[in-house]
Amino acid sequence: MATRADLANAIRALAMDAVQKANSGHPGMPMGMAEIAVALWGEGNYRHNPQNPHWANRDRFILSNGHGSMLQYALLHLTGYNLPIEQLKQFRQLHSQTPGHPEYGYTEGIETTTGPLGQGIANAVGFALAEKLLGQEFNRPGFDVVNHRTWVFLGDGCMMEGVSHEACALAATWGLNKLVAFWDDNNISIDGHTDKWFTEDIPGRFEAYGWHVIRPIDGHSVEAVLKAIEEAKTITDRPTLICCKTIIGKGSPNKADSHDSHGSPLGDAEIAATRAAIGWNHGPFEIPADVYAGWDKKEAGEKWESSWNQLYREYAKTHPELAAEFERRNAGRLTADWAQVVKTAVADANGKAETIATRKASQNALNAFVPALPEMLGGSADLTGSNLTNVKASVQLTRESDNTLSGNYISYGVREFGMSAIMNGILLHGGFRPYGATFLMFSEYARNALRMAALMKIPQLFVFTHDSIGVGEDGPTHQPVEQTATLRYIPNMNVWRPADTVESMVAWAHSIEQTKTPSTLIFTRQNLQFQTRSDEQIANIAKGGYVLRDAANPKVVFIATGSELDLAVKAHEALAAEGVASRVVSMPSTNVFDKQDKAYQASVLPAGVPRLAIEVGVSDFWRKYVGLEGDVLGMDRFGESAPAPLLFKEFGFTVENAVAKAKAIIK
């Protein structure tokens, strides 16, 4: 019968062998956290079902220090997931299920993509928040159908990254008592021992947040870790940090406690020496039957899920409407009347014909959609009054005296990165569609979380307002120039910059309907002119680009987005008064337009007709649409501090300048 030491050493051996075979990877962390993994996964504290990785009430496990991915791959393989040993042999190879860092959607049992340090723990805060809010919404006396924990492994690098501060402070504020984090305190990073650059009091820091902190324990003692886990389970009003003192590369005679084991293979000689030192007398990728038996969690997982299934069947009989809604929400399905809700909302926006800021148009859209979709969970990074992401149905998230949370709108504070990473965790957990907002300029702080949403193919909803020099007097520090373009460059990201109330409504509806693509919705501070449209034109908004104004045999095509669409329309009218025919194309989403078939694209942007793109942003982005014969009226410098109307004139965003540029390219 395998001992705990055998179970831990199986992880060490697999990590050494896989990294060595790939000639790439990080063996030290898995070797150092092996006993912690035995205590959590091996002793049944982590409740999951390897044969159904999507069981609704499973615990969630997040490997925030994702460079040590072989730890998680070893655990998934050993406990019975569909991850055969051949996949471990293909570690870090093309199209394998074992990429260099854990990736959501590639491997069963991976809850989120980790690797960019700090984001895993931030995602975990979102997972734990979703569990708490979903439980309070759906649980009933005797029926705790939502009742699971979020477990996190994180390292020194996660602690150093600022996003961990943003997210962990909120975890305590919200009293997320089912969140338990294990800090791999090994004092090693790539540059070596961290005593020269990582000296803060981490336990004191987390105690200051309001976490329950279990101060340093021996991370290589399974009993010590088990005792800490039991203590964490008794905490009912706050998250827990378990500080585990470990030795990176534990077991390696010459490379333990050294950065030499952090991010490089140990080498054949050192692996042989390590095998001898830990008493592992088995060949590469060879796991004895008794070790497999000791790790196997298929039977236990079936029992855990079966017990929950029995409870849920009784719940569904007693509370059928709640059960139906719970299943819809977890499946990510929209309500049966969604199409009618959208149709009514768009028609209402078109009928009112309001000339308002698109941030206000966005709020109008949310007022229509939030009541229709109870899974919508809004928020803002301390800019609610400016972003206008609160609606009539919004209730401020508040922690009550009994450690419950109430509300559907989150004030994240000035934490743009933390907000966005937490939102990713909420969405990945299931049951909610979060949306969060800040100024477009501060998308820079949140950008890596946006990229991660696109990489994971999750339909996140990011809202950015105050989109250009239209911000005005706040000046160039707050006036975006390159941000919209760079967001469009993120693969698998839909970026919307609507021009009025109807385009804003369609942009929101389209974004909510996505299942594998995140959306960035960009809105103005200033009022924008309402544009009249036919029913066909309204239908074509969802294609990302469409013909708004036209004339027979146009000599030039204007392409515009957002606040510049009305400028293009006025330039079109000015040219018409001079007998020059032109076309105006509104392109609220270049990303969505690029996905349309070539025939539709050609019908909107006909070949052989020169084009002038107009957008208050960097001009180079538009070159692929206008070609060598066209031109761009753009913004290739930073702004100034002044009232917005003066700035638009100062930087050439006038009808006269647009007409002059159009005439120049016609010639």
Catalytic residue among 270, 416, 503, 564: 416
DSSP state letters, 337-393: THHHHHHHHHHHHHHH---EEHHHHHHHHHHHHTTT-TTEEEEESS-HHHH----TT
Tokens of 477: 């520090």
Provide the 3-class DSSP secondary structure of residue 398.
strand
Contact criterion met (CB below 8 Å) for 511 and 496: yes
| 629 is an active site residue | no
Lookup result for tokens 């009989």: 317
Contact criterion met (CB below 8 Å) for 127 and 111: yes
Report the b/e string of 307-338 with b at 16+ CB within 10 A: ebeebbeebbeebeebbebbebbbeeebeeeb
Provide the 3-class DSSP secondary structure of residue 199.
coil
Q: Which amino acid is at 160?
A: M
Q: Which residues contact 666 (CB under 8 A, 6 or more apart)?
A: 555, 556, 580, 610
Q: Using CB atoms within 10 A of its CB, is residue 167 exposed (0-12), middle (13-18) or buried (19+)?
A: buried
| Euclidean distance between CA atoms 60 and 300, whole angstroms | 16
Lookup result for tokens 């957990």: 429
| Euclidean distance between CA atoms 641 and 661, whole angstroms | 26
Contact criterion met (CB below 8 Å) for 197 and 8: no
| Euclidean distance between CA atoms 103 and 554, whole angstroms | 49
Rounded to 5 degrees, φ, ψ at 163 are: -65, -30
Q: Kindly list the distances between the CA atom of residue 340 and the CA atoms of 336, 541, 601, in Å, as whole numbers in the listed order.
A: 9, 17, 28
Tokens of 475: 């000046």
Q: Which amino acid is at 517?
A: T
Rounded to 5 degrees, φ, ψ at 186 are: -110, 0
Rounded to 5 degrees, φ, ψ at 613 are: -90, 140
Tokens of 228: 């800490």
CA torsion, points 427, 433, 438, 444, in degrees to nearest 10? 30
Provide the 3-class DSSP secondary structure of residue 630.
coil
The kind and range of the H/E element at 628 are none
Active site residue ranges: 416
